[in-house]
Amino acid sequence: MSRDTTSEHLRAELKNLADTLEEVLTTSGEKSKTELDKLRSKAQSALKDTRARLGDSGDRIAQTTREAADRADVYVRDNPWTSVGIGAAIGVVLGVLLTRR
What distance in Å separates the CA atoms of residue 38 and residue 79, rounded to the nearest whole number? 61
Domain around 21: 1-98
What confidence tens digit (pLDDT) does each residue in 6-63 have?
677 777 777 777 777 777 667 656 667 777 777 778 777 877 777 777 777 777 777 8
* E strands in 33-93: none
Q: Is the pLDDT of residue 77 over 80?
A: yes
Question: What was the pLDDT predicted at 72?
Answer: 83
Give the mean pLDDT of 51-78: 79
> Number of structural domains, the chain?
1
Give the mean pLDDT of 75-89: 84
User: Number of H helices and number of E strands within the chain?
Assistant: 3, 0
Q: Is the pLDDT of residue 76 over 60?
A: yes
What distance in Å separates the CA atoms of residue 50 and residue 11, rounded to the nearest whole number? 10
